Structure 1
Amino acid sequence: MTPPATATPALLGVRHHGPGSARAVRAALDQCRPDAVLIEGPPEADAVVHLAAEEGMRPPVALLAHVADDPGRAAFWPFAEFSPEWVAVRWALAHDVPVRFIDLPAAHSLAVDEKPHRAGDGSGEGEGGGEGDGGRPVAPRLDPLAALAGAAGYDDPEVWWEDAVEHRRAGGPAGGDALAPFRAVAEAMAELRAAFGEEAADGGTGGDGPADRDAVREAHMRLKLREAKRQFGDAVAVVCGAWHVPALAAKRTVAADRQLLKGLPKVKAELSWVPWTHRRLARCSGYGAGITSPGWYGHLFHAPDRPVERWMTTVAGLLRDEDFPVSSAHVIEAVRLADTLAAMRGRPLAGLAETTDAIRSAMCDGSDVPLALVQDRLVIGDVLGEVPESAPATPLQRDLARLQRSLRLKPEAAHRDHEFDLRKDVDAARSLLLHRLRLLGVGWGEPARHRSGLGTFRESWRVCWEPELSVRMAEAAAWGTTVEAAATAKAESLAREATSLAEVTALAERCLLAGLPAALPVVMRALADRAALDADVGHLARALPALVRSVRYGDVRRTDTAALGEVAAGLAERVFVSLPAACAGLDTDAAEEMRGHIDAVHQAVALLGQAGRPPAGETEAEETDTGPQAADADAADADVAAAGSGIRGRWAAVLKVLAGRDGLPGGIRGRAARLLLDDGRLTDDEAARLMGLALSPGTAPAEAAAWIEGFVGSGGAGGMLLVHDERLLGLVDTWLTGVPPDAFTDVLPLLRRTFSAYEPGVRRTLGELVRRGRASGAEAVRGEGTRNGFGAGLDEERAAAVLPTMRLLLGIAHTGGTE
């Protein structure tokens, strides 16, 4: 028989995000039928709590509070579907009962800590510390669950909590009183607070610690409780962290509570609902009131009966989807094993530890690899909540939501890879959106390396929506009301504040990627100013590649980059003029850094020379234009191509100066010679002559080794050059065998670094070539003699050994004759 409703205020102490507590709260509210429900949380949420009843609201969600003029100072109060507070909110709205939040206002809690932070849910009960008072990081406190579990003889508080609360399928004990568990919890917490005193709150730190903050919060809760009792009488239910229940039941004067709240700092705070994720509820994410297994807790909350069997079935479905061979027999065996483990361990029902052990043994063959998948996808989970369109939001957030719908780019908690073809309007718009958001500091997507051979008209992205991005959107709202306008304003501000040339060129590249033509004039002015004032060749060389890439993006994105191309050409000319003098007198480290700059400039010049024509493979999707506009475009492309050819010629002249000038570091001279050889501007005879000079007996061994590293030190490509040009290999071999013993140890580390970068097969082939020696005399002229890496002539005996296998592979019958 259900006891009659009570008129005494019901203090329902809970564990945040506990499904057992959520079921108990629902049963207690059904029994008490209060006239008002009070919940631990910021009172500013009273204005938006009604949205929890709308169809578009799907937990996990969170209340986001931030300072109006400083959105980076923010706090979250998350709610999962199995959170007791969420159950209380939904019950109150379903029964048309007023619901109010009674914790310290966010206006005060955000003002106490001026540093940006991510909030907890207002307590750390049962979580071993936390982010109390609206989420400010606090000192570790006593874990009440650990204390109660230890008193019950448990080593693991999570296991004790599951046995004592989560595995209770009914709302109350045999008598049917749903309030009995809460009275027991209140009594336990009162004993803990009496036994541990201040240490229970702040670990004995004293002063302005968690104890003081909890005292302030509890004083405000008592005042709000008194206010509710005056309006609704004693038929009030309070849902709060179990730790606070004794404080709310304690007798305190109104004057004493108001004195605690007197003089608290205050800011203007704004509050709204934002989506949350199960992954952010997990303790491993750093959330102060986190739980170890939000997915498992959600399963326990929703499973009407036989939770172990239902869980094993879900796990089997996941593993099958990932091509693991799991049958119904595996599920049956896993359930039996979990129940057996629970009985052996003296537990009323198999918990997460037992089900995990059973899954590892029965479904994963003892491997932790598929088990890690279960842990990530199910035990924690990738559930992302939703909030209704009617929820308060800035114009920028609404514009982003509109773009997400129109581009069919739905935010998801799981990482998802996308590949965009920039020749298609929808994919190009998606790319622009992600680049604009990155410019605003909203890292919804990260560029990824796309598959080789797809050209520059494709982009690969890995996207994942994190709850913290809602704070970034609130911060970005200060720049504009739409994503494009905000990104443009942010880019202009970054251009004015940039202190180096490389920063501005990188910003120009980002503006072109994001499709922000309105920001380019400001960026271009800043770029011209920095380029005119910067005389450091290293700075100019670092800035040039990003600038040239920006010019190239115009080919795919149809962006006018003529002005940018002029700046890039001018920057390149300044590099050409200053580079030979800048390479003189460099030490080893500076020479290596300059060699990297030369490589970057070489690639940039190659791209700049191709700026007038689209990359290969990208023209098949473009329409053929005719008419005056097309003719003008062709003429402009011809001009650009001619300019690019001239730039490449001038760069080749600079490289020839670097390759032949004595006194420059060997690595730079060798690298310049190699770049000229690769471009076909240096003949093989000339390359051999330069190598012979660099490796002559009069050259110091260390300098000669540096020349070799500059010439062939480019991984597999350098090794293949030596494989196919035995003349160059002979020069290196002759020099190396002639290095004096006392100098050999000095050059060995440099040579080892050079040749270790080659592929194993290349090193093996080079070893074979060196082992068998080089052709000489008439053999070298006729190309006779040894074959690369295979000894002298054809070894017929070794070749005959593979013939039987070849006949089987080709299906050729052996005739017994000569092959």
Structure 2
Amino acid sequence: MGSAHGGAGSGPWILGVRHHGPGSARAVRAALDAQRPRAVLIEGPPEADALVALAADEEMRPPVALLAHVVDEPGRSAFWPFAEFSPEWVAVNWALEHGVPVRFIDLPAAHSLAMRAEEEKEEEREREKEGPAGWEGESGAEGEPGAGGQSGDGGEPGDGGEPGAAGGPGAEGGPAADPDAESAADPDAEPAADPSAEVLRVDPIAVLAETAGYDDPERWWEDVVEYRGQTADALAPFAALAEAMGALREVYGAGGHDRDLVREAYMRLQMRVAAKEFGPEYAVVCGAWHVPALREKTTVTADRALLKGLPKAKVDMTWVPWTHRRLARASGYGAGIDSPGWYAHLFAAPDRPVERWLTKVAGLLRDEDRLVSSAHVIEAVRLAETLAVMRGRPLPGLSETTDAVRAVFCDGSDVPLSLIHDRLIVGDVLGEVPSAAPAVPLQRDLTRIQKSLRLKPEALERELELDLRQANDAERSRLLHRLRLLGIGWGEPAAATRGSTGTFRESWRLRWEPELSVRVAEAGIWGTTVLGAATAKAESDAVGAAALADVTALAERCLLAALPDALPVVMRVLADRAALDADVGHLAQALPALVRSLRYGDVRGTDTGALTEVAAGLAERVFVGLAPACAGLDADGAAEMRTHVDAVHGAVGLLDDERHAKATGPDTAGATATDTAATLPPSATDGIRPRWYTVLHTLGTRDTVPGVIRGRAVRLLLDEGELSQDEAGRLMGLALSVGTPPAEAAAWIDGFVGGGSGGMLLVHDERLLGLVDAWLTSVPATAFTDVLPLLRRTFSAYEPGVRRTLGELVRRGPAAQPAATAAVGVPGFADALDEERAAAVLPVVRLLLGLDASPEDSDALAEAAG
């Protein structure tokens, strides 16, 4: 078929490379400059031939990737990433610069995607037969769907069709390593009878590195390729690597990947086509693992036989932005590398790379307010060079520069190194693709909106604060909410950083990941515009929602995303579900989200009239069914219902305020509900608060209701001023009476004073504190251990200052309290310190403080306690 190297006119030239290797990239350019082939063939999907010219577009900025997806199933997709330092990218640009035809010759994505779908089905059947222990899985193969066939699963294919090595930096085009393997196979060991049975644990670069006496495969590759200067014979490095790969394939064959044989057969056929069209003077750029197979002499009939009967799917292909972070092996990419940012630097700065790198590191640390001077940089360069000499390396590598940075810039600390690794060694560079690149209509509309809103996708996560009173910020918010509804998670809501709780502010965390391009393609089935797609998706979700709470949450999302056409459909489904759902818990769970949505009307300019009426009807149904639903609940059910009671209480307040606001108009903005009610006719003041208070009275006084709910109802009435202090004290006294089981009384206390604000209530109302203390001291010892966990949970939620104040009040006793409180005469309070009880804790205190049991220590502790 041809040699891997030769003089001018002795092609074809098969250039075996390491994907994403800057040394390989420079060597490819040197070889192409030397041989001047008439055509360049590149390992990659032939469907990309129509897109290759876009690589020279001035808007194209690597890293980028070819994205192929099944037309009818966009989620089944594959990526072929390219960085500026990828040999294939260099070959493409060389061909375009010199007007030389360039073609991709790997197995078409139409076949590889369809084959992967069948393999997944077969693997699923095998797993069902053998169980989880019977399947080991494999890393994603380049140019094919990754594990699971979903681009978003982190198993996307590599950049050129090569089985990547997940177990080491070799990813050079060797057999895929088992993701669970921790070391390379022993190159001196006798091969197994069936080498393919164990090849999943082999990384060819790791094998070659170990043979050369290197523990670190990445370091071996850098020494023999990346840090070596150009040789006189531009083809010599490819000949040496081809020879090494030939020896490996003699041992491991196809590496256990039968699909490699199919791909290589297809590539050989394409090479024959190129030979007829251009003669032997053409170059092939492929993963080095394939070189021996492409040089193998086979017949056309044999190659075609391997391709017979391959499944096929209809696919679309385009360019999409990629990131350095997704080129890293840590992302799960089979052909990934450890340090994309470092390799990009080596490729862009072939002269004085160490000095330039350390200057870049110094700039990053200065931006983070660390003191790094020019003298630090000079000293770090000297140290890195000295380390390289001591370690016998031709040039300081990443390990030497990192050690120098740690010692000189970071004072021996590894903490700043994590920042350097994240920002520089890996990096957050996000590529760009030309507007002329094919895209689904939804992607084009999204790109147009992003430009108009000045909201550029970025790989680095950033915070975005929005003021919804500003037109541009409001549009940004609608876009992000619409995308979330479509499953395109570009932005995630975050807690506001400015301390504002108003509905006019939003905070987002934005980060664009390459997989989002697939999500956009998937969402394209809903429409050609973001607004239209989000509307159709919301309507579909409403009809298919399983629970009432899902529909109310969807109504809230429709308001946030400003989908007026979808809201009527959602409201109709909501009304139907609410009318049929008899579960009070479901109704109570749905009401808060629905009422929250009413707040968005003012700031977002959305009409919420229909929502108000549906929410009011939902609240009435909750009022009717809540008390019967609370009867006979166990502890878990009571705790859950308590949260519903709290949520409904907050929702009722918002809903009543909203109805008053709609009845009174804007002129009464800022007035209290009571003030407003005084100016309205009776029909307008018939709010839902009074009816809710009646429900709470019922819950607080009915014996069949669990204690935690009764206590909570009493507390809510007390806070709203619907219950006097004396009446609350009376109900507490009944709940904590001798006839009440201790566990039920403890639950009542949890409901009444549980939560952050319960402690302040006891601080300011010492009569209630006395009742709690009286009950606590009267609990029998046999029951105390049962109620202690609940009480501990209740009081541990208080702020430390509140707990300290309550302790002081208990210590002081009724003498320091108002006369009315002192008259209660509850146990646990005394006129003076009980020295006998206080002395009982001294041994424990001495043990904790490590003090000797001397009389002086005891006197000192007693004095401190007094």
TM-score relative to the length of structure 2: 0.84
State the one-letter code of the partner of 2:649: H
CA 1:702 to 1:782, structure 2 compared with 1: closer, same or farther past 3 Å? closer
Runs of 4+ in 1 over 4 A off after TM superposition: 129-139, 612-615, 622-626, 638-645, 776-783
CA 1:640 to 1:625, structure 2 compared with 1: closer, same or farther past 3 Å? closer
Distance in 2 (alpha carbons) for counterparts of 1:128 and 1:379: 19
Any unmatched runs of 5+ in structure 1? 203-209, 616-621, 627-634, 784-788, 793-819
Contact in 2 for aligned 1:106/1:134 (Cα 8 Å): no
Number of the residue aligned with 1:166: 226
Distance in 2 (alpha carbons) for counterparts of 1:348 and 1:597: 69
CA 1:666 to 1:770, structure 2 compared with 1: closer, same or farther past 3 Å? same
State the one-letter code of the partner of 2:211: A
Number of the residue aligned with 2:424: 378
Contact in 2 for aligned 1:126/1:146 (Cα 8 Å): no
Deviation, 1:612, is 4.6
Q: 1:87 aligns with which of 85, 90, 108?
A: 90
Deviation, 1:126, is 5.5
Distance in 1 (alpha carbons) for counterparts of 2:490 and 2:744: 49
Number of the residue aligned with 1:683: 724
Contact in 2 for aligned 1:277/1:467 (Cα 8 Å): yes
Deviation, 1:496, is 1.1
Distance in 2 (alpha carbons) for counterparts of 1:501 and 1:706: 30
**Which runs of structure 2 are paired with 1:90-489 in the superposition (5 Å)?**
90-114=93-117, 116-118=149-151, 119-121=156-158, 122-125=161-164, 128=167, 140-170=200-230, 173=231, 176-198=232-254, 201-202=255-256, 210=257, 212-451=258-497, 452-489=499-536
Number of the residue aligned with 1:70: 73
Contact in 1 for aligned 2:109/2:315 (Cα 8 Å): yes
**Which runs of structure 2 are paired with 1:471-550 in the superposition (5 Å)?**
471-550=518-597
Distance in 1 (alpha carbons) for counterparts of 2:9 and 2:444: 46
**Which runs of structure 2 are paired with 1:708-747 in the superposition (5 Å)?**
708-715=749-756, 717-747=757-787
> Is 1:757 aligned to residue 804 of structure 2?
no
Distance in 1 (alpha carbons) for counterparts of 2:75 and 2:680: 49
Number of the residue aligned with 2:688: 647
Distance in 2 (alpha carbons) for counterparts of 1:431 and 1:289: 37
Number of the residue aligned with 1:59: 62
Number of the residue aligned with 2:656: 609
Deviation, 1:663, is 2.3
Distance in 2 (alpha carbons) for counterparts of 1:136 and 1:340: 35
Deviation, 1:81, is 0.2
Deviation string 1:64-89 (CA, Å, 9 cap, x unpaired) is 00001110100000000000000000
**Which runs of structure 2 are paired with 1:555-594 in the superposition (5 Å)?**
555-594=602-641
Distance in 1 (alpha carbons) for counterparts of 2:112 and 2:482: 33
Number of the residue aligned with 1:810: none
Contact in 1 for aligned 2:75/2:522 (Cα 8 Å): yes
TM-score relative to the length of structure 1: 0.89
Deviation, 1:555, is 2.0
Contact in 1 for aligned 2:504/2:603 (Cα 8 Å): yes
Contact in 2 for aligned 1:127/1:291 (Cα 8 Å): no
Deviation, 1:97, is 0.4
CA 1:235 to 1:277, structure 2 compared with 1: closer, same or farther past 3 Å? same
> Is 1:700 aligned to residue 749 of structure 2?
no
Number of the residue aligned with 1:802: none
Which SS does the other structure have where 2:286 is aligned? Answer: strand
Contact in 1 for aligned 2:712/2:748 (Cα 8 Å): yes
Number of the residue aligned with 1:797: none
Contact in 2 for aligned 1:446/1:461 (Cα 8 Å): yes
State the one-letter code of the partner of 1:499: A
Distance in 1 (alpha carbons) for counterparts of 2:49 and 2:482: 35
Deviation, 1:123, is 1.3
Contact in 2 for aligned 1:611/1:640 (Cα 8 Å): no
State the one-letter code of the partner of 1:534: D
Contact in 1 for aligned 2:20/2:87 (Cα 8 Å): yes
Contact in 2 for aligned 1:18/1:82 (Cα 8 Å): yes
Distance in 2 (alpha carbons) for counterparts of 1:657 and 1:134: 72
State the one-letter code of the partner of 2:150: H
Deviates more, 1:14-23 or 1:139-148: 139-148
Any unmatched runs of 5+ in structure 2? 118-147, 180-198, 670-675, 824-828, 833-866
Deviation, 1:7, is 3.5
CA 1:31 to 1:135, structure 2 compared with 1: closer, same or farther past 3 Å? same
CA 1:3 to 1:145, structure 2 compared with 1: closer, same or farther past 3 Å? closer
Distance in 1 (alpha carbons) for counterparts of 2:470 and 2:15: 57
State the one-letter code of the partner of 1:164: V
Deviation, 1:562, is 0.7
Contact in 2 for aligned 1:394/1:474 (Cα 8 Å): yes
State the one-letter code of the partner of 1:331: V
Distance in 1 (alpha carbons) for counterparts of 2:817 and 2:162: 88
Distance in 2 (alpha carbons) for counterparts of 1:309 and 1:723: 65
Contact in 1 for aligned 2:459/2:513 (Cα 8 Å): yes
CA 1:624 to 1:646, structure 2 compared with 1: closer, same or farther past 3 Å? closer
State the one-letter code of the partner of 1:328: S
CA 1:13 to 1:614, structure 2 compared with 1: closer, same or farther past 3 Å? farther
Q: 2:707 aligns with which of 666, 670, 674?
A: 666
Deviation string 1:27-68 (CA, Å, 9 cap, x unpaired) is 000001000000000000000100000000000000000001
CA 1:8 to 1:731, structure 2 compared with 1: closer, same or farther past 3 Å? same
Distance in 2 (alpha carbons) for counterparts of 1:104 and 1:644: 74
Distance in 2 (alpha carbons) for counterparts of 1:722 and 1:356: 58
Contact in 1 for aligned 2:165/2:334 (Cα 8 Å): no
Deviation, 1:135, is 11
Contact in 2 for aligned 1:77/1:134 (Cα 8 Å): no
Deviation, 1:643, is 6.2
Which SS does the other structure have where 2:687 is aligned? Answer: helix
Q: How many residues align?
A: 755
Deviation string 1:543-586 (CA, Å, 9 cap, x unpaired) is 11111111221121111111111111101100000000000001
Deviation, 1:454, is 4.2
Q: 2:41 aligns with which of 38, 59, 77?
A: 38
Which SS does the other structure have where 1:420 is aligned? Answer: strand
Distance in 2 (alpha carbons) for counterparts of 1:624 and 1:531: 34
CA 1:144 to 1:664, structure 2 compared with 1: closer, same or farther past 3 Å? same
Deviation, 1:128, is 3.8
Deviation, 1:6, is 3.0
CA 1:772 to 1:249, structure 2 compared with 1: closer, same or farther past 3 Å? same
Number of the residue aligned with 2:186: none
CA 1:228 to 1:623, structure 2 compared with 1: closer, same or farther past 3 Å? farther
Number of the residue aligned with 1:656: 697
CA 1:68 to 1:767, structure 2 compared with 1: closer, same or farther past 3 Å? same
Deviation string 1:287-335 (CA, Å, 9 cap, x unpaired) is 1111110000000001131111111100000000011111112112211
Deviation string 1:677-709 (CA, Å, 9 cap, x unpaired) is 122211111111111111111111111100000
Deviation, 1:516, is 0.2
Contact in 2 for aligned 1:13/1:245 (Cα 8 Å): yes
Deviation, 1:473, is 0.4
Which SS does the other structure have where 1:159 is aligned? Answer: helix
Contact in 2 for aligned 1:120/1:134 (Cα 8 Å): no
Deviation, 1:26, is 0.5
CA 1:576 to 1:625, structure 2 compared with 1: closer, same or farther past 3 Å? closer
